[in-house]
Amino acid sequence: MRALICGAGISGLTLAWHLERAGWEVELVERAPAFRESGYLIDFFGPGHQVAERMGLLPRLLDVRYPVSAVDYVDGAGRTTSRLTMPPDMFQVISLLRGDLARVIQEQVRSPIRYGTSVASAERSGTMADVRLTDGTRRTVDLLVGADGAHSRVRELVFGPEHRFLRYLDHQVSAYILRDEELSRRIGARYRMLTVPGRMAGGYALRDGRLALLFLRHETDPAIPADPAAALRRHFGDLGWILPEVLPRCPPPPELYHDQVTQIEMARWSEGRVVLLGDACQAVSLFAGHGASLGMAAAWVLADELAHGEVAGALIRYEERMRPAVEEVQRAGRRFVKWMAPATRRHIVARDLMIRLAGLPGLGRLFVNSLSPGGHRLITSRADHLDDHLDDARDRA
């Protein structure tokens, strides 16, 4: 059996890993000219963590993780206004760079990855998919997988234009990595965040004198600015803290990651021999903080179904198994917007009050869960039934 996977991100690579071990002939095409370095930290936990464990990746992931000892909310002068202390190894959360997770998976993938290439067209041909690549070559495969992210090209070619599936969450996000040993020492292994109504800027010190910076801004217009670096300077330049030092050194894309904050909602995830995977069909947004984890879980479930039956039925069962967990996490993500990016002073005051309450016995764990950067672990327990699916499937295997 032959599969062509469009997109060598976390979901596509995880699927390649599983399919090639199940005897499939796999090829990946990736639009980027080379391996994509990451621009932001993610919290990795839940079902994806379990999948990584089964793949034997945990020792490598623990090597590249970053310890986040606390989240400090700071004011414009850099003074800490409230602090959440993170208990070590809480819920086995691993904080790491998106690119480090992708690299650890890719190190174990044997299938060829064709960089600087995408899918130009895809047509059904009996029980196969006929695919033309942007380099002019053709493939006839048993399965074409669109694992090419929230702005998926495969989705556009096979299912229709993006606006039919994209739910814009009224925010835009930017992230980049800066090398500055002195600033990095000053920030340290605490995630620091500055929030004013409608805007959030965060920083965390990485290894080798680097600093990961994240910016989130309320914006009802989904249009991406023509010059995202200039827009970032314009929108955050007045906030104080370390921003006057870091914003003038903001790189242009692709080193600067800039995108809308979105969720993807679709009535179907497959059509004939074409299936979507990860953010392409189930993006939950950074507000839900589960995207990478759910993408790996989805790859595992899809590979598991393909190993247990013919392709058409496997695609339907894959969607049936994943969809309830995805929709639940999406709903929770939407509810979380007001806490991660408070739109009003009232919400900021309420958040700070919650953080103070978090110091009370029994409540701390709950609040650390819900307010940590990039990952809202309150949702973890809601997605736990996905773990049950994974366990059932493992028992079957």
Ligand X SMILES: Cc1cc2nc3c(=O)[nH]c(=O)nc-3n(C[C@H](O)[C@H](O)[C@H](O)COP(=O)(O)OP(=O)(O)OC[C@H]3O[C@@H](n4cnc5c(N)ncnc54)[C@H](O)[C@@H]3O)c2cc1C
Question: Per rule CB under 6 A, is residue 12 in the interface with ligand X?
Answer: yes
Question: Tokens 């906030």 label which residue?
Answer: 239
Q: Which residues make Cβ contacts (< 8 Å) with residue 225, sequence separation at least 6?
A: 231, 258
How many residues touch ligand X (CB under 6 A)?
A: 36
For the CB of residue 310, give the shortest distance to ligand X in the complex, in Å.
25
Separation between Cα atoms, residue 300 and residue 189, nearest integer Å: 33
Peptide bond into 254 cis (omega under 30): yes
- The amino acid present at 6, given as its one-letter code, is C
Separation between Cα atoms, residue 154 and residue 325, nearest integer Å: 23
H helix count then E strand count, the chain: 14, 18
What DSSP letter does each residue of 228-243 carry, written as one string?
A: HHHHHHHHHTTS-TTH
- Report the residue number, 30 or 72, with the smaller CB distance to ligand X: 30
Per-residue exposure over 198-235, b if at least 16 CB sit within 10 Å of its own CB, e if not: bbbbbbbbbeeebbbbbbbbbbeeeeebeebbebbeeb
Residues in region 96-115 near ligand X by CB under 6 A: 98
Q: In what order do the strands lie in the sheet with 2-6?
A: 113-115, 25-30, 2-6, 143-146, 274-276, 270-271
What DSSP letter does each residue of 16-55 carry, written as one string?
A: HHHHHHTT-EEEEEESSSSPPPP-SEEEE-THHHHHHHHT
DSSP element (H, E) containing 350: helix 345-357
- Report the residue number, 98 or 192, with the smaller CB distance to ligand X: 98
Bridge partners of 85? 70
For the CB of residue 258, give the shortest distance to ligand X in the complex, in Å.
10
- Report the residue number, 33 or 324, with the smaller CB distance to ligand X: 33
For the CB of residue 9, give the shortest distance to ligand X in the complex, in Å.
2
For the CB of residue 270, give the shortest distance to ligand X in the complex, in Å.
16
Among 228, 272, 278, 333, binds ligand X (CB under 6 A): 278
- Report the residue number, 52 or 286, with the smaller CB distance to ligand X: 286
3-state secondary structure (DSSP) of residue 39: coil
In angstroms, how far is CA 86 from the centroid of its own chain? 21
For the CB of residue 259, give the shortest distance to ligand X in the complex, in Å.
6
Among 4, 29, 61, 231, binds ligand X (CB under 6 A): 29
Among 50, 82, 106, 118, binds ligand X (CB under 6 A): 118
For the CB of residue 192, give the shortest distance to ligand X in the complex, in Å.
16
Ramachandran assignment for 138, one of left (phi > 0), alpha (psi -120 to 50 degrees), beta (any other): beta
- Report the residue number, 6 or 311, with the smaller CB distance to ligand X: 6
Residues in region 193-232 near ligand X by CB under 6 A: 214
3-state secondary structure (DSSP) of residue 87: coil
Separation between Cα atoms, residue 314 and residue 305, nearest integer Å: 5
Instruction: Return the closest-CA partner of residue 246 out of 256, 254, 258.
Output: 256
Among 31, 103, 323, 331, binds ligand X (CB under 6 A): 31
CB atoms within 10 A of CB 34: 9
For the CB of residue 298, give the shortest distance to ligand X in the complex, in Å.
8
Site mask for ligand X (CB under 6 A), range 364-393, x = bound: ----------xx------------------
Separation between Cα atoms, residue 357 and residue 342, nearest integer Å: 18
Residues in region 137-196 near ligand X by CB under 6 A: 147-149, 153, 173, 175
- Report the residue number, 175 or 247, with the smaller CB distance to ligand X: 175
Question: Whose CB is nearest to ligand X?
Answer: 291
DSSP element (H, E) containing 129: strand 128-133
Question: Per rule CB under 6 A, is residue 36 in the interface with ligand X?
Answer: yes
- Report the residue number, 88 or 349, with the smaller CB distance to ligand X: 88
Residues in region 37-66 near ligand X by CB under 6 A: 40, 42-44
Find the part of the chain contacting ligand X (CB under 6 A) among 10-18, 70-78, 331-339, 387-395: 10-18
Among 3, 5, 7, 368, binds ligand X (CB under 6 A): 7
Find the part of the chain contacting ligand X (CB under 6 A) among 25-33, 302-310, 320-328, 339-347: 25-33
Find the part of the chain contacting ligand X (CB under 6 A) among 6-14, 63-71, 305-313, 345-353: 6-14
Residues that bind ligand X (CB under 6 A): 6-12, 29-32, 36, 40, 42-44, 98, 118, 147-149, 153, 173, 175, 214, 278-279, 286, 289-293, 295, 374-375
